[in-house]
Chain A
């Protein structure tokens, strides 16, 4: 029979279900590709975080390439530490509050020798102290057991470079050294003791 065209009177095509003709390898391929698909999304999906775009694989990777040397990374951490431990007394703007804490912004103690200022959070401060021409007489508790070396270095770096302050960052190694030096000192320094620390340290 000439099958040039669909003969008008031919029956419609039928999909007989006699033999399935479904090759096993095709279902195998389906399973394999589904596995690959899951792997692919896992590998390149950036954990479904909308901030992960382009060649970066995760937000951790993005955070690790942020333009910062140690001091900026420290300052970032220091901001966190400050907002957790220090802000209640020294206030968010670093200006302190009467009866609570002296100001840090513009404070000559803060911007002075790192070895001097590092001792303050390490062991606390008590008694009269002159800050920016004003007399303060309060009681700052020791953070010796609350903050570790890195956190102390971080918060000092932050404080020394915020609110108009400009000073060198504080090294973690320096804080380690100070911690060793004040290991036997009882809590709370006084202003007189601190003034004995030479400026060069």
Chain B
């Protein structure tokens, strides 16, 4: 590895110094972003639990306007996506760009300030939703005062990421970098188009539903999905023998996603939209099976190489849920009984917690020990989170897949009155509440784990969390003592 990045004057640089230097440059913003995103994760799980409880016991907290189902449900969704997944995702993306490009992070202080504003924006947006200032569009509920701040912070971080990328020393590109660059272009375009056409200068009528669906689909597939795939591409080979199975498959997977992915809009027949738009969306959804198969094949064959499963289990699980998500997307698009049922919510949790959650959790458990100087071995850290998340997803999504199947059959049968449908769903929703409780426990576990690592680091070296600095301090102390 060329080691021309270090500022040290030593004649030949060891790779470990280079890497430590790179990581130390990104440590502060990343630490802040991981801490904040996991805090939002816990908040989101609490909102989700409240929402789920209200579905079968509506008298609980009935008098609190801020905590009604119509407020807590979007709050749970948005805090997860914008507070946790996007923030942790972009933090991991920054780290990967630094590592893959062998370059220090550009403007870490700017990144830290942007991260602070990001969280303030998300907080304002969440409070806005609870107050009732919601925009009324799914996954876009933040009122303007929250979303503008959050999005400006995102733009700053995106620019920092792109500049870091441009200044890279290692010029050969790895698939993770393709996905990150693409995601950093896709998300702002999706977001600004959606906010512009829905909130600032709304388009007419049913067109709003199309723009909303197009945005939601892009959010899952082209933003979070791309970041998740980038994480998997990075860590699965790294935890094996360092070789990706096939570059050609990665190229095919990337470009077929770029071509077909943006045409998905999550539409289904029966919507009050022209049939051609619905048909194009459905055809595109089916066509994204190709990048799905390519990516899963590529990464599955990569993981064949021996490795301890302690760390890699996160990414393997994520990969399996990634495959399930793709299949469920096609089911939602093609089967007329599936849309408008809770199967959609089950699919969302499989995507958000199963695919993206596991990938981000695994990456967090890799990155945070390094930037905080904590113990690097797996140990029992994360086991509780893994088990709780896995069981939580199985309970929640399993219950709702079954419940949604029942609900879909009854919805398609016109002789069933709606109260019967509601009653038939109750046992499944109760089971799903148990799943959410498990997810909450798992989330608290990972938050606690990361908080402890950060706390220990901050205690060791009061001003920053860089093991490199600590070593420098120790070295200084040694030389000072020797000089005496």
Direct contact of A and B (CB under 8 A): yes
The interface of chain A, by Cβ under 8 A from chain B, is 2-6, 8-17, 19-23, 26-27, 29-30, 33-34, 36-38, 40-41, 43-56
User: Among the listed stretches B132-140, B220-228, B269-277, which one makes contact with chain A, having 4 or more residues with CB under 8 Å of it?
Assistant: B269-277
Kindly report which residue of chain A lies nearest to residue B276, judged by CB atoms.
A45
Tell whether A40 pairs with B276 under 8 Å between CB atoms, given A5-B369, A6-B235, A8-B19: no
B275 and A46 contacting across the interface, CB-CB below 8 Å: yes
A13 and B287 contacting across the interface, CB-CB below 8 Å: no
Q: What would be 10 A-B contacts, judged by CB atoms less than 8 Å apart?
A: A4-B311, A6-B239, A9-B14, A12-B99, A13-B238, A14-B242, A33-B289, A37-B286, A45-B275, A49-B276
**B378 contact set on A, CB distance < 8 A:** 4-5
- A84–B175 CA distance with the chains assembled, in angstroms: 66
A33 and B290 contacting across the interface, CB-CB below 8 Å: yes
B16 and A41 contacting across the interface, CB-CB below 8 Å: no
A13 and B243 contacting across the interface, CB-CB below 8 Å: yes
For window 38-81 of B, CB contacts with A under 8 Å fall at: none
A26 and B252 contacting across the interface, CB-CB below 8 Å: yes
A5 and B270 contacting across the interface, CB-CB below 8 Å: no
Kindly report which residue of chain B lies nearest to residue A25, judged by CB atoms.
B293
B233 near A: Cβ within 8 Å? yes
B246 and A22 contacting across the interface, CB-CB below 8 Å: yes
B7 near A: Cβ within 8 Å? no
A15 and B311 contacting across the interface, CB-CB below 8 Å: no
B279 and A40 contacting across the interface, CB-CB below 8 Å: yes
| Residue in A4, A30, A55 whose beta carbon sits within 8 Å of that of B308 in the complex | A4
B242 and A10 contacting across the interface, CB-CB below 8 Å: yes
B411 CB to nearest A CB, Å? 16
Kindly report which residue of chain B lies nearest to residue A33, judged by CB atoms.
B287
B293 and A9 contacting across the interface, CB-CB below 8 Å: no
Q: Mark B146-172, 1 if CB is under 8 A from A, else 0.
A: 000000000000000000000000100
| Residue in A8, A17, A30, A53 whose beta carbon sits within 8 Å of that of B247 in the complex | A17
B244 and A16 contacting across the interface, CB-CB below 8 Å: yes
- A41–B281 CA distance with the chains assembled, in angstroms: 9
B8 CB to nearest A CB, Å? 16
B250 near A: Cβ within 8 Å? yes
**B174 contact set on A, CB distance < 8 A:** 12-15
Which range contains the number of B residues in contact with the other chain?
A: 35 or more
How many Cβ-Cβ contacts under 8 Å join chain A to chain B? 156
| Residue in B15, B102, B234, B244 whose beta carbon sits within 8 Å of that of A9 in the complex | B15
**A10 contact set on B, CB distance < 8 A:** 238, 242
A22 and B252 contacting across the interface, CB-CB below 8 Å: yes
**A20 contact set on B, CB distance < 8 A:** 246-249
A46 and B249 contacting across the interface, CB-CB below 8 Å: no
Q: Mark B356-378, 1 if CB is under 8 A from A, else 0.
A: 00000000001001100000111
**B235 contact set on A, CB distance < 8 A:** 6
B274 and A5 contacting across the interface, CB-CB below 8 Å: no
B247 and A49 contacting across the interface, CB-CB below 8 Å: no
**A48 contact set on B, CB distance < 8 A:** 274, 276
B275 and A13 contacting across the interface, CB-CB below 8 Å: no
**B312 contact set on A, CB distance < 8 A:** 3
B286 and A36 contacting across the interface, CB-CB below 8 Å: yes
A46 and B15 contacting across the interface, CB-CB below 8 Å: no
A53 CB to nearest B CB, Å? 6
Kindly report which residue of chain B lies nearest to residue A21, judged by CB atoms.
B246
**B246 contact set on A, CB distance < 8 A:** 15, 19-22
**A54 contact set on B, CB distance < 8 A:** 269-270, 272, 275
B366 and A53 contacting across the interface, CB-CB below 8 Å: no
**B247 contact set on A, CB distance < 8 A:** 15-17, 20
B270 and A52 contacting across the interface, CB-CB below 8 Å: no
- A34–B287 CA distance with the chains assembled, in angstroms: 7
B108 near A: Cβ within 8 Å? no
B258 near A: Cβ within 8 Å? no
- A34–B377 CA distance with the chains assembled, in angstroms: 47
Kindly report which residue of chain A lies nearest to residue B206, judged by CB atoms.
A53
Q: Mark B207-242, 1 if CB is under 8 A from A, else 0.
A: 000000000000000000000000001110111101
**B283 contact set on A, CB distance < 8 A:** 36-38, 40-41
Kindly report which residue of chain B lies nearest to residue A40, judged by CB atoms.
B283
- A36–B290 CA distance with the chains assembled, in angstroms: 13
B307 and A13 contacting across the interface, CB-CB below 8 Å: no
A70 CB to nearest B CB, Å? 30
A26 and B293 contacting across the interface, CB-CB below 8 Å: yes
Tell whether A14 pairs with B244 under 8 Å between CB atoms, given A8-B16, A52-B276: yes
**B297 contact set on A, CB distance < 8 A:** 23, 26
B100 near A: Cβ within 8 Å? yes
A21 CB to nearest B CB, Å? 3
B310 CB to nearest A CB, Å? 5
B480 near A: Cβ within 8 Å? no
A6 and B280 contacting across the interface, CB-CB below 8 Å: no
